[in-house]
Chains A and B, each alone.
Chain A
Amino acid sequence: MAQSPRIRIDPASSVPAVRQIVDGLRVLLVEGGLGPGATLPSVRRVAVELGVHFNTVAEAYRQLAAEGWLNLQHGRGAVVVPRAVPAVAEGAGNEGFRNRLRGLVAQMRADGISVESIAGELRAMAKVVKRS
C-alpha cells in the first residue's frame, strides 16, 4: 500500500519551522504527492502533529496559496489547485538556484556528510526530476 504523503520538520534545525513546512509541502506538490483537488488537513491537526503554533502552519498555507498552489476558502480548508508553470527563458534564474545548491552542498559537507553520500543524494534527486 502506498504511503500517505507526509511532511517532516526538524525542531532542532536553524531553518524556521514555517520555511520547513513550505519546503516540505512544495516537494509534495511538485512531485505529485499532492495532486489538484486534494484537500490538506486542517491547520490545527498539522500544528499539533508538528508541535508548532497554529499561525506557523496557517502562514505556510498562505505562502503556498500566494505561489498559486493552494486555494484557501473559509470552511473548505486548503485545496490543491492546478498551477500553470511560469514561462521562463532557458537558463534564466539558474544562477540563483545554483548558488543555493552550492551553499546547501557546502553545508552538508560542513556537517560531516561524506562527498559520496552527497553525490548519491544528488543523483537520486536528478532521477526524480527527470521522471516528473
Chain B
Amino acid sequence: MRLILCIIYVLMGALFYAYPNITRRELLFAVPVPPGFRESPAGRHAIRMFRLAIVAAVLAGACALLLAPAGLANAMAGAMPIAISLAGAVAFWRQNRALAASAQQYTRPREAEMTSTPERLPWYGWLAAGPFAILAAAATWLYLNWDRIPERFPVHFDVSGQANRWATRTIKGVYGPLFFGAELCAFTLIMAVAAWFGARRSRTRPVMLGGMIAAEYLLGLLFALITLQAPLGIPVWVIALAPVAILIPLIIVMVRKMTEPWEPMDPTPNECWKADIFYYNPNDAALFVEKRAGLGFTLNFANRWCWVLLLCLVLVVVSARFVVA
C-alpha cells in the first residue's frame, strides 16, 4: 500500500512538474507574458527553478514515506501530498513575483451576438445524469442484497491497507456515502451549469463543461465503489487508483483541447486579478472567466452569485458530518 500511495504522490508531483505546460502559451505562472517569452532565458530559468523545487519535494517525500518506521508511516502518507502542494505553491508564487515585471496587458475587441435565441446546454449535457444513475444503481443493489452487507464493515484504511474506521449496517452507514456522493455530484452539476451560462462564449467553454461532467462521473464512480467495497470485496488499491485512472486521461485531453491556439486569451484586465489567482471585477457581468493559473475557468468574486455557489460548497462539506457515518 505504501508503494501504491508513493506512486500516486509521484504522479501528483508529475502533474505539478508539468504545470508550466498546462497553461495557455500567453501565460507563465499566471503572468500574461509576450509571445515567445517561455523560450527566452528568463522564461526557461523560471520554469527550471519551479521544477527543481517540485522534484526536491517529491524525492524527499517519497524517501520519507518508503523509509519511515511503521509508526510514522500514516503521518508521512498524510504529510507527503501537503508537502508537494506547499512546495508547488511556494515555487509558483516565487516565479509569479519574479515574472511580474514582464507582465503585459492583452487586449482585443469583444463581440456579442444580437439575437434573442435562448442559450441552451449542448447535446451532451444530458450525460450529467449518468453519475446519479450510477449512485442509484449502487443503492438499488445494496437494497436488494442487504443481507450480503456485513454487520460491521471498514470505511477507511491506513497506509498499510488495514482498516482503521468502521461503519455498521444501518441506513446511514450503508447509504451515507452514496448520499454524500450524490451531493457532490449535484454541486459539480450546479457549477457546470452556472459556468456554462455565466461565462463568455468561447471554444474553451464546451471543453470546460465536458471536463466538469467527467469530474462528476469520477465522483459518482468513486462513491459507488466505496459503498460496494465491503459486500463485493473490492480491493482497496482499486478504489485508490480508480480516480487516478480517470483523472490522468481527463487532464491530458483537457490540456490538449485548451492549449490549442484556437483563439486568443480572454483579455481580462490585469489589475482585476488579485495575486494573479482571484478575479474581482465589479464591472464585468461574467460569473466565470478564464483562469490565469492553470486551465479552465474561475469565479468572478465581484459577482454576488459567486458567494451563493461558495455557500453551497460549504453546506455540502458541513453536511458530510451528518450524512456519513
**A residues within 8 Å of B by Cβ?**
4-12, 25, 28, 33-34, 38-42, 44-54, 56, 77
Number of residues in B with C-beta < 8 Å to the partner? Answer: 23
**Which of B111, B285, B287 is close to A52, meaning CB atoms less than 8 Å apart?**
B285
Q: Hey, what's the 0/1 contact readout for B60-91 against A, CB within 8 Å counting as 1?
A: 00000000000000000000000000000000
| Shortest 5 CB-CB contacts between residues of A and residues of B | A47-B285, A49-B112, A39-B116, A12-B107, A5-B114
Query: A48-B200, A53-B282 are known contacts; what are 14 more A-B pairs with Cβ within 8 Å?
Result: A5-B113, A11-B107, A11-B110, A11-B267, A12-B107, A40-B116, A48-B286, A49-B113, A49-B200, A50-B110, A50-B111, A51-B200, A53-B283, A53-B284
Which residues of B are found within 8 Å of A52, using beta-carbon distances?
283-285
A8 x B284 contact (CB < 8 A): no
- Which residues of chain B come closer than 8 Å to A8, judged between CB atoms? 109-112
Q: Does B268 contact A (CB under 8 A)?
A: yes
Q: Which residue of A lies closest to B110 (CB)?
A: A50
B198 an interface residue at 8 Å Cβ cutoff? yes
Least distance between B303 CB and chain A CB atoms (Å): 10
Question: Known contacts A51-B200, A51-B268; is A41 also within 8 Å of B114 by CB?
Answer: yes
Q: Are B116 and A38 in contact (CB under 8 A)?
A: yes
Residue in B115, B267, B268, B285 whose Cβ sees the most chain A Cβ within 10 Å? B285
Scoring B107, B113, B199, B267 by chain A CB atoms within 10 A of each residue's CB, the highest score goes to: B113
| Chain B residues, CB < 8 A from A48 | 198-200, 285-287
* Contact with B116, one of A9, A41, A53, A54 (Cβ below 8 angstroms): A41
Q: In the assembled complex, how far is the CB of residue A22 from the closest CB belonging to chain B, in whole angstroms?
A: 13
Q: How far is the CB of A54 from chain B (nearest CB, A)?
A: 5
- Also in contact, A41 and B198, with CB within 8 A (given A9-B109, A48-B285, A50-B110): no
Q: Which residues from chain B contact A46 at a C-beta distance below 8 Å?
A: 112, 114
A8, B112: Cα distance in complex, Å: 6
Give the nearest-CB partner of B105 in chain A.
A12
Near A by CB (< 8 A), chain B positions 187-243 give 198-201
Least Cβ distance of B126 to chain A in Å?
23
Please name the residue on chain B nearest to A41 by beta carbon: B116
User: Which of chain A's residues have a CB closer than 8 A to the CB of B285?
Assistant: 44, 47-48, 51-54
| A contact residues around B286 at 8 Å (CB) | 48, 51
**Is B268's CB under 8 angstroms from A4's CB?**
no
Cβ contacts under 8 Å, A53 to chain B:
282-285
Chain A nearest CB, measured from B30 CB (Å): 19
A48 to B287, CA, bound (A): 8
B110 with A9: CB separation less than 8 A = yes
Shortest CB distance B120–A (Å): 13
Contact residues in A for B263 (Cβ distance below 8 Å): none
A12-B268 Cα distance, complex, nearest whole Å: 11
Nearest B residue (CB) for A43: B285
A100–B57 alpha-carbon span in the complex (Å) = 64
Check B119 for interface membership: any CB of A closer than 8 A: yes
A28 to B111, CA, bound (A): 14
